[in-house]
Amino acid sequence: MTTIAPEQVNSIIWNQHHDPFEILGSHQIEKDGKSVWVVRAYLPTASAAWVVLPEERKEQEMQSVHDPHFFECIINTEELANYQLKVKEEDQERVFYDAYAFNSPKLTEFDLHLFNEGNHHRIYEKLGAHTAEVKGVKGVYFAVWAPNARNASVLGDFNKWDGRKHQMRKGPTGVWELFIPELEVGTHYKYEIKNFEGHIYEKSDPYGFAQEVRPKTASIVTDLDSYKWDDSEWMEKRRHNDPLSQPVSVYEVHLGSWLHAGTDEPSILPDGTSEPVVQVSELKTGARFLTYRELAAKLIPYVKELGYTHIEMLPVAEHPFDGSWGYQVTGYYAPTSRFGSPEDFMYFVDECHRNDIGVLVDWVPGHFPKDGHGLAFFDGTHLYEHADPRKGEHKEWGTLVFNYSRHEVRNFLTANALFWFDKYHIDGIRVDAVASMLYLDYCREPGTWVTNEYGGRENLEAVEFIRSVNHLIFSYFPGSLSIAEESTSWPMVSWPTYTGGLGFNLKWNMGWMHDMLDYFSMDPWFRQFHQNNLTFSMWYHHSENFMLALSHDEVVHGKSNIIGKMPGDRWQKFANVRCLFAYMFAHPGKKTMFMSMEFGQWSEWNVWADLEWNLMQFEPHEQLKIFFKDLNKLYRNEPALYTQDFEEAGFQWIDCSDNRHSVISFIRRDKDSDSFVVAVCNFTPQPHSHYRIGVPEAGFYTELFNSDAREYGGSNMGNLGGKWTDNWSMHSQEYSLDLCLPPLGVLVLKLDKNKTAEVMEEE
């Protein structure tokens, strides 16, 4: 007796059924007026099968029905507890739990409702692969959104990558799910997606928490809740701090090229032991990447020694090609396995926090690559990207553009931003290529793009997405940073969303960066004709919360490294670098600089090689590193340099018009006290003795910092520790200082009120 029609069997065999639970597994039926159970299983590689009843300690043979590999048997019992299947495959037998005996979906109707309207902020806890226990049996629950697929299956080592064995069930909103018992953390898997034309796509999990090391592309079942964090004090402190009134000095780093290790060097394991690692960087023979734990041991002390407040990493989300720098992401929820496991990355962040260093991660919601295992054409249709290439493709980059008008796609990205804060305790994101998201005609010729509904060039859906993400970040994680790399004049980028802004709290000042590099690349004699390059940024500075950034983009593609851009002989090149960065740290705005600038690397950044650490054996490069160490110390120790970065009261020109000498001077004021510092910058190699500037108060002004100091490789011209004021009014100030300005030098001075008071008492 059979209990199923041939057509139903064929729908399973040919993987054409959207809900295999309707046929497979256990079903209660009526037989001879009595309630019994029928168990069905499709076992493509089995020659025989049995149902095993562990509690009753017996097994019952199954019969082939309509196909040699489709089995069923009737069990005469009113109650059927967890059963197992025993199968014979060639000369081997094995026993396992039947996945189709666990008909318990993890996604609730409310989960699906929130996801379909784009508002499930923790959807990563439901979609993807998660360890679970159903009916007392441990396993892994899989769920993937593929609404236009004909079928979806889970592939893995556990089923020999055979999509017929673990066919998933489709819910009413396009989410396919399946609980597979007895799988564990560490299981490698993919999804096999079939479209209605029968084409098969093998995809990594969009919500997968880990992936194999490239060039392999399988996702890996991972438990993100097993790591024991030790940064509660840091997290609580962050929650109560306003980063805009704190020092923010960022060391931007690409983990894969900061430093390599030899292939014969063992890597550090979580328990402190070691094991050989053979992960080799593609163009550096005999070298391998450092692991996250090795980077924690080497990079963090280095950054702490230099005094930076944050480490910013180029994208650490999984990406297939080293040469993309991480900006073409295929695993948005997976830290790249090049450097270790998710737990290893958690350890790195934890160690940063233990050392009072914040962690920023570059985030790439603007585009994604076309790799076959990634998001592109995910379910046989343009699911994550726009179908119209005029909206859905960046031809120049060879990448696809997210469809921000689709709720589920927007939810995927929104939850992803929150995910990195939630699971990895990061302190901020830098959003890459924001301009490419805001403008529909970005890098597109006339006639190759589509206007918005009002006939404009603004991507209205992307704008609303950005606002929503930033609003949620600051709602869930106060004290965090969201930084825009936005290269146009789009207004109110760093204004709150309730005022109509995009909601970032910082924006890279690309105009300042271009002005500075143009200015410093010219011969100092010509700088007198370009004083506006130095001063123009203050005309618009208070329109946004700006971060001054000299990033990786400025030291690649034939642009030369920073020191190579400088004119003059070797001494002048180093002096120009010191002058540039000293002015940068004295100028209002938070700071970001790319690795290698701190010791004056000559060659451009090479993603395949180490930084040129061998240069540190030469005194000028070691002295430049000392300069940055002291510059960061000055910045962190003087509240006047950071508490009012974005308030007009925090900055005052003394003199910005002395273009004949290429000198500027200004005051920075503290928000919480009446203290201030005076910065004087000489941008030519010509020193100036008896250079007078006006100051607001009388007394002794200590020379806190001199970029021309001997220990930095300078000529050591200065003011012997400081100067007393004269009762000569100048620059609309009642008092003035007679200073010696060093060549290509920046002075930072501060009124010593204690010394002034002592002298006044003596008098």
Residues of the chain with pLDDT > 70, as a percent, come to 96
Q: What is the mean pLDDT of the chain?
A: 93
Question: Reduced to 3 states, what is the DSSP secondary structure of residue 484?
Answer: strand
Q: What is the pLDDT of residue 271?
A: 53
Find the range with the poorest average confidence among 81-90, 105-114, 281-290: 281-290
Q: What is the pLDDT of residue 237?
A: 96
**pLDDT tens digits, one per residue of 184-233:** 999 999 999 999 888 999 999 999 999 999 999 999 999 999 999 999 99
Q: pLDDT tier at 398 (50, 70, 90 boundaries)?
A: very high
Find the range with the poorest average confidence among 103-107, 243-247, 410-414, 489-493: 103-107
Residue 277 has pLDDT above 50, yes or no: no
Q: What is the pLDDT of residue 275?
A: 52
For residue 37 the two structure tokens come to: 């159970």
Q: What is the pTM of this model?
A: 0.94
Report in angstroms the alpha-carbon separations of 284 from 257, 279, 519, 606, 740: 10, 11, 36, 11, 49
Number of Cβ within a 10 Å radius of residue 645: 27
For residue 186 the two structure tokens come to: 């560490």
Q: How many residues does the structure list for the chain?
A: 763
Q: What is the pLDDT of residue 91?
A: 86
Residues 6+ apart with CB under 8 A from 387: 381
Q: What is the pLDDT of residue 762?
A: 57
CB 159 within 8 A of CB 218: no
Q: What is the pLDDT of residue 344?
A: 97
Number of Cβ within a 10 Å radius of residue 525: 12
Average of per-residue pLDDT across 91-120 = 92
Average of per-residue pLDDT across 155-176 = 95
Q: Kindly tell me the burial class for residue 203, based on how many C-beta atoms sit within 10 Å of its own C-beta (0-12, 13-18, 19 or more).
A: buried
Q: Which of 325, 377, 2, 451 is nearest to 194 (CA)?
A: 377
Query: DSSP state, 435?
Result: H
Number of Cβ within a 10 Å radius of residue 569: 9
Q: pLDDT tier at 81 (50, 70, 90 boundaries)?
A: confident
Number of Cβ within a 10 Å radius of residue 465: 21
**pLDDT tens digits, one per residue of 328-372:** 999 999 999 999 999 999 999 999 999 999 999 999 999 999 999
Say how far apart CA 98 and CA 182 lie, in whole Å. 10
Question: Reduced to 3 states, what is the DSSP secondary structure of residue 648?
Answer: helix
Q: pLDDT tier at 264 (50, 70, 90 boundaries)?
A: low
Average of per-residue pLDDT across 635-664 = 97
Each as own residue / partner, the long-range contacts of residues 89-93 (CB below 8 Å, 24 or more positions apart, any chain) are: 89/45, 89/46, 89/47, 90/47
Q: pLDDT tier at 1 (50, 70, 90 boundaries)?
A: low
Which domains are present in the chain? 6-98 (2.60.40.10), 109-221 (2.60.40.10), 231-637 (3.20.20.80), 640-762 (2.60.40.1180)
Q: What is the pLDDT of residue 33?
A: 74
**Which residues on neighbouring strands pair with residue 285, listed in sequence order?**
none
Q: What is the pLDDT of residue 77?
A: 79
Find the range with the poorest average confidence among 29-38, 115-124, 132-141, 454-463: 29-38
CB 11 within 8 A of CB 17: yes
**pLDDT tens digits, one per residue of 668-720:** 999 989 999 999 999 999 999 999 999 999 999 999 999 999 999 999 999 99
Backbone angles phi, psi at 739, to 5 degrees: -115, 155
**pLDDT tens digits, one per residue of 370-389:** 999 999 999 999 999 999 99
CB 693 within 8 A of CB 654: yes
Residue numbers annotated as active site: 432, 485
**pLDDT tens digits, one per residue of 565-599:** 999 999 999 999 999 999 999 999 999 999 999 99
Average of per-residue pLDDT across 394-411 = 95
Q: Kindly tell me the burial class for residue 639, based on how many C-beta atoms sit within 10 Å of its own C-beta (0-12, 13-18, 19 or more).
A: buried
| Cα angle value 493/249/509 (rounded, 5°) | 30
Q: pLDDT tier at 760 (50, 70, 90 boundaries)?
A: low
Outline where 376-527 has alpha helix (H). 389-392, 407-424, 434-438, 460-476, 510-521
Q: Are strands 188-194 and 200-203 parallel, antiparallel or unpaired?
A: antiparallel
Residue 280 has pLDDT above 50, yes or no: no
